[in-house]
Structure 1
Amino acid sequence: MSGVLYLIPNTLGDGDADALAQVLPEPVRAQAAALGYYIGENAKTTRAFLKKVGTERPIQEIEVRELNVNTPPGEIEKLLAPILAGADAGLVSEAGCPAVADPGALLVRRAHERGVKVVPFVGPSSILLALMASGMNGQSFAFNGYLPVDAAERGKRLRELEQLSRKANQTQIFIETPYRNRAMLDTLVATCAPSTLICVAVDLTLPGETIVTRTAADWKKKAAPELHKRPAIFLLLAS
C-alpha cells in the first residue's frame, strides 16, 4: 500500500518556532514533525522549516528532495517512488500553501494519477488572505501570477485585466518580484480608471503587515506604504 502525500503549509516569511505556531495549527505541526520524507523547493530552507517545527527524529535522518522550476518532468516519478513504496511524505513550498502558484502541483497531479492519497492541511495563503482583506469580490476572482516585466507589456496586460474585471465583476490578483513592487503600483495607478479599486497587501501574517484598498484616484493623492523588497499581493476590481 502506498503512503500519503501531505500538503503542509509554510510561513509567509522568516520567523522562529513561535511565529510558526501563530499560523499553523497544532495538528499540522504534529504531522509535519512525524514525517521522515520531505519534498521542497530548496533543501536548505526545507530543513530550516523542519527545525522550527521540531521533528521527532534528528533532521539529518529525514530525507529531503527538491522540486522546483528547474526539476525535469521525468524526475517527478522518482520523487513519488518512496511514497508508492509506502512512505508518508510532506510537500512544502518556499512560502505559503504548496501546489498553489508552486511547482509542487506537478507532484500532486502525478500522485492522483498513481492513486496516492493526497491530504491538504490548513495554513496561510497570501492570495486568499489578501482577497479576504481587500473588500473586493470574493465570489469571482482569478490569480494571474506574475505580469510582464517590460513596462509597455505590463501596462497592456493590466488594461486587459481591468477590462475583464469590469466585464465579469471579477477580482484580478497578481504578484510581482519584491524589488519591482513600486513600479507595479505606479503602473497600476497610471493605467487604471480613476474609479478602479486597487489593493496592495504587504507582509501578510508578519509584524509589518499592511493592507490598503483605494481607488486609483485616491492612490494618486495619498502616500503609499513602503513596498521595496517586501512580499506583496496586488488586486484590482473595476466598476
Structure 2
Amino acid sequence: MLINSDQRQPGSGILYVVATPIGNLADISQRALETLASVDWIAAEDTRHTKPLLQHFAIQQTLFSLHEHNEAERSEQLLVKLLAGENGALVSDAGTPLINDPGFVLVKKLRQAGVAVVPIPGPSAVITALSAAGLPTDSFRYMGFLPARSNKRKLELQALLETTATLVFYESPHRVLDTLSDLLEVFGAERELAVARELTKQYEQFVSGSLQEVNEFFQANSGKVRGEFVLMLQGAQLQQEERASSEFDPWINAMLQQNLPVKQISEVISLALSVKKKQVYQRVLELKDAAFE
C-alpha cells in the first residue's frame, strides 16, 4: 500500500509529533512551544509528566493519555477527532516520541487514513549521547533497552558480535551494572565503550574507555549509578580490518590485472561483500602502489 503525504484526507486535521526536553527545559524549541499552545489537544505518554512542562511555559491544554496499555483504543478515538478537523500533538515523557516510546500504532493508523503527521524535531537521548561520545557516528545501530534477564541479554548481545556499526543501548540505573558485566563477558575487555548519564542535567557525565575500564569504574563508584543511561559500544572495527587484508586481496589483484579503476574496484567489492567502500578503497591503493614498486 503506497502512502503519500501529499494525498491528505479532505477536511482532516494534523497530528504534530513534538520532541520535548530530556532534562533541561531550556532545550525546548520555539516551534514546539507554539505548536503545543495552538493545537486542540495533546496526547501524552503520561499526563503527570507533561502537566508540569506545560505549566512551566504557561500553556493550558486538554490532555489525553496514550501509553502502551491503551494505545490501540486511544488511537481510534484520536483518529475520529483528527478526521473531524481537529489538530493534535503527540509527546512522550521526554525526548522524541516513538523512539522507545509509544506512538507507532497511532502514527501508522493516521498515515494509512490520510491524516497528516508532521514532526517537530528536538531533543533525543540517542543523538545527544552520540554527538559527544567520541565514537564513530557514520553508522550506528540503536537497540533500545536490552532484555531484563541476563541469559536473554547475552544471547541478544552475541548476535551483535560482528556488527561494525556503533551499538547504542538504553539502560536503567538498577540494571546497568549487570548489563556492563554482560557486555564485558560477550565483547571482551578491549572493545571501546562510552557511557552517558543524566544528559542535559546538572550532573551530566560521560565515561569512556575499554569495556574493562568502564566496567571497573562503575563497579567501584556505585554512587554514580543514578539516572537513565545511554551505552555506546564501538563496532567490530578490528575484525573488519583483518578481513580486508586476508580476504579482499585476491579480488583486488584480479581486477587490477584487468586495469579497472580504483573507484570501480572499491564499489564492486564493497557491494559484493557488504563492507565499507572507504576501507576497500584504501587497500586497493596499497596493492596498486605495491604493484608499481
Say yes or no: does 1:147 pair with 2:146.
yes
Q: Which has the larger radius of gyration?
A: 2
Say yes or no: does 1:42 pair with 2:40.
no
Distance 1:233 1:220, change over 3 A: closer
CA distance in 2, matches of 1:8, 1:54: 17
The answer to whether the Cα contact below 8 Å between 2:72 and 2:106 also exists between their aligned partners in 1 is: no
CA distance in 2, matches of 1:101, 1:3: 26
The structural deviation recorded for 1:117 is: 1.5
Counterpart of 1:203 (choices 198, 201, 212) is 198
The structural deviation recorded for 1:149 is: 1.5
Counterpart of 1:219 (choices 208, 214, 222) is 214
The answer to whether the Cα contact below 8 Å between 2:196 and 2:206 also exists between their aligned partners in 1 is: yes
Superposition pairs of residues 67-146 of structure 1, within 5 angstroms: 67-71=66-70, 73-146=72-145
1:158-193: CA deviations, max 9, x gaps?
A: 2322x132xxx2111111233212222232234322
Say yes or no: does 1:66 pair with 2:88.
no
The answer to whether the Cα contact below 8 Å between 2:19 and 2:97 also exists between their aligned partners in 1 is: yes
Superposition pairs of residues 150-189 of structure 1, within 5 angstroms: 150-161=149-160, 163-165=161-163, 169-189=164-184
The answer to whether the Cα contact below 8 Å between 2:184 and 2:211 also exists between their aligned partners in 1 is: yes
1:3-46: CA deviations, max 9, x gaps?
A: 11111112213xxxxx42x2112222122122230101112222
> TM-score scaled by structure 1?
0.85
The structural deviation recorded for 1:135 is: 2.2
CA distance in 1, matches of 2:178, 2:111: 40
- How many equivalent residue pairs? 224
- Could you tell me which residue of structure 2 aligns to residue 230 of structure 1? 227
User: Does the residue aligned with 2:100 lie in a helix, a strand or coil?
Assistant: coil
1:107-153: CA deviations, max 9, x gaps?
A: 11111111122111121100111122222232222111221212222
The answer to whether the Cα contact below 8 Å between 1:39 and 1:65 also exists between their aligned partners in 2 is: yes
Distance 1:205 1:159, change over 3 A: same
Aligned letter for 1:164?
E
- Could you tell me which residue of structure 2 aligns to residue 191 of structure 1? 186
Q: Which one has more relative contact order, counting CA pairs under 8 Å at least 6 apart?
A: 1
More divergent stretch after superposition (88-97 vs 25-34)? 25-34
CA distance in 2, matches of 1:107, 1:221: 43
The answer to whether the Cα contact below 8 Å between 1:178 and 1:227 also exists between their aligned partners in 2 is: no
The answer to whether the Cα contact below 8 Å between 2:218 and 2:225 also exists between their aligned partners in 1 is: no
Aligned letter for 1:183?
D
Q: Which has the higher helix share?
A: 2
Aligned letter for 1:106?
V
Counterpart of 2:12 (choices 2, 6, 10) is 2
CA distance in 2, matches of 1:2, 1:135: 45
Cα RMSD, aligned residues only: 2.0
The answer to whether the Cα contact below 8 Å between 2:71 and 2:106 also exists between their aligned partners in 1 is: no
> TM-score scaled by structure 2?
0.70
The structural deviation recorded for 1:63 is: 2.2
The structural deviation recorded for 1:220 is: 5.1
- Could you tell me which residue of structure 1 aligns to residue 264 of structure 2? none
Distance 1:111 1:53, change over 3 A: farther
- Could you tell me which residue of structure 2 aligns to residue 16 of structure 1? none
